[in-house]
Amino acid sequence: MVTFKDFKGANNNLNAITDLFPPKKQFLHRDKQVQDIILNLSPIMSNQRAPNFFTFGATGTGKTAILKSQLEDLEKICGEEKISFAWVYVNCAEAASSADCLLKICKQISQAPETIKVGHQWSYATSLFETLLAKKNLVILLDEIDKLIETEGDRLLYYLTRIKDRLQDRNVCVITVSNNINVPSMLSPGTESSFGKLRVEFFNYDALQLKDIILQRVKQASLQVDEEAVALIAGYGAQLHGNARQTLELLKNAYLATVKGAKKITAEVVKETYDRMEHDLFTESVARLPAHQKILLLGIFAKTFKKEEVNTAKVYETYADLCRQLKKSPVSVRRVQQIIKEFRDAGILESATNNRNEKNITIQAPPETFKKVYESLTSTYQEVKLP
Ligand SMILES: Nc1ncnc2c1ncn2[C@@H]1O[C@H](COP(=O)(O)OP(=O)(O)OP(=O)(O)O)[C@@H](O)[C@H]1O
Ligand SMILES: [Mg+2]
């Protein structure tokens, strides 16, 4: 743990590591995406409606930061050019419903946000939106749109993309953001076609690109980092599916590990920090699992602990036996296969085909983490006799 005193005399600009925007808003290796966004939004500069478009990309690939940064720039230049322009941002994962999402949009465009009450119906939200919608160019940035579509369908998008038919002098442009590339196919054909073919895709960063992103922040924050340590952080970042957020998190934690003493980030510090972060991530994700997932995992841990082979075909028997002991009815074989796939996606397990054409499962945790998680699972289910 660090205390305020540890930062005495540390002349580092740590905001450069933790900020959403990189120094001077320079997003490295994203020229194509930035160009596409600017091109899509350029009609606003001549007071015309900009087209709706989708953006996609894995987590930590710069979608939110880059879109917000471009919209801020556009707002500034529209102000200088006396072009009426406003933009709003809503994270749909934080909205309870389409109506809630629309009310959040209203709150941002309204001059008197306190008059808007939450919990209203859709019809209230739409009429409020239409009275508040000024003759302005408005861009609505809908982050994590897939979360809303999964629960409520495309009601909000359908409505927003149709508004131009009724209020012809209002220019509304909708930009959606998601990790899920299948968003267009989740929409009704009418809504999908209102988006046309415009898509901006944010690809995962590779180790070399991450290295540049790290060096940019290291320089701005005046950190002392070994060359080898930079390469190691970038390599870990690439393993984390090119996630710039987690890569910067690793840099920040490695810095925190040196602030008390050595002051210099070495490869060794990075490795220790990474192992600790992996450990925390693994234990936290297991702790948050629902009961059946935990029981399945307990069986896999117990077999692995005994150095017995675990394969996807036999794992069900072990799981079902534990369920019987716990007087719970087991979920279906299919569901268990699906859970194993989810574990794989979450980096908890890995599976590989053996020479009998069966899939062997291995747990992806360093020995210390394995021990701690196994202890916690066995203490949760003390009453069972392990396989
Ligand atoms: N090309 C880049 N250059 C510099 N910093 C970057 C770059 N790409 C991402 N970052 C930084 O990585 C962090 C994560 O970016 P951001 O929040 O935009 O990711 P995201 O794609 O929206 O992820 P999520 O899907 O999880 O919301 C931010 O601090 C951002 O500034
Ligand atoms: Mg984001």
Task: Find out whether 273 and 312 touch, Cβ atoms under 8 Å.
Answer: no
What would the two tokens of residue 122 be? 């859709």
Atom of ligand 1 nearest to the CA of 247: 12
Q: Where are the alpha helices (DSSP H) in the chain?
A: 15-18, 31-41, 63-80, 98-109, 122-132, 145-152, 155-166, 189-194, 207-220, 227-239, 244-258, 267-287, 291-305, 312-325, 333-345, 367-380
Pocket probe for ligand 1: among 18, 37, 64, the residue whose CB has the most ligand atoms within 8 Å is 64
Residues sharing a CB contact under 8 Å with residue 60, sequence separation 6 or more, in sequence order: 240, 242, 243, 244, 245, 246, 247
**Dist. CA 245 → ligand 1 center (Å):** 6
Whether residue 5 is predicted with pLDDT greater than 90 in this model: the reply is no
Query: Which listed ligand is nearest to 19 at the C-alpha?
Result: 1
Render the burial of 209-241: b for 16+ CB within 10 Å, e for the rest: bbbebbebbbebbebebeeebbbbbbbbbbebe
The domains found in the chain, sorted by start residue, are 30-202 (3.40.50.300), 206-285 (1.10.8.60), 289-380 (1.10.10.10)
Express each pLDDT in 286-333 by its tens digit: 999 999 999 999 999 999 999 998 988 789 999 999 999 999 999 999
Q: According to the model, what pLDDT value does residue 8 have?
A: 80
Q: How far is the CA of 241 from the centre of ligand 2 (A)?
A: 15
Least confident of 5-19, 150-164, 260-274, 296-310: 5-19
The distance between the two most distant Cα atoms of the chain, rounded to a whole number of Å, is: 74
pTM attached to this predicted model: 0.84
Confirm if 282 and 250 have CB atoms less than 8 A apart. Answer: no
DSSP 197-259: T-EEEEPPP-HHHHHHHHHHHHHHTT-EE-HHHHHHHHHHHHHTTT-HHHHHHHHHHHHHHHT
pLDDT above 80 for 262: no
pLDDT for the residue 116: 58
- Ligand 1 pocket: which residues have CB below 6 Å? 20-22, 27-30, 57, 59-65, 179, 202, 213, 244-245, 248
Q: What is the atom index within ligand 1 of the atom nearest the CA of 27?
A: 3
Element (H, E) at 363: strand 359-363
> Tens digits of per-residue pLDDT, 84-97?
999 999 999 998 88
For ligand 2, the distance from its centroid to the CA atom of residue 179, given in whole angstroms, is 9
Residue among 256, 240, 295, 275 at smallest CA distance from 367? 275
The more confident residue out of 208 and 19 is 208
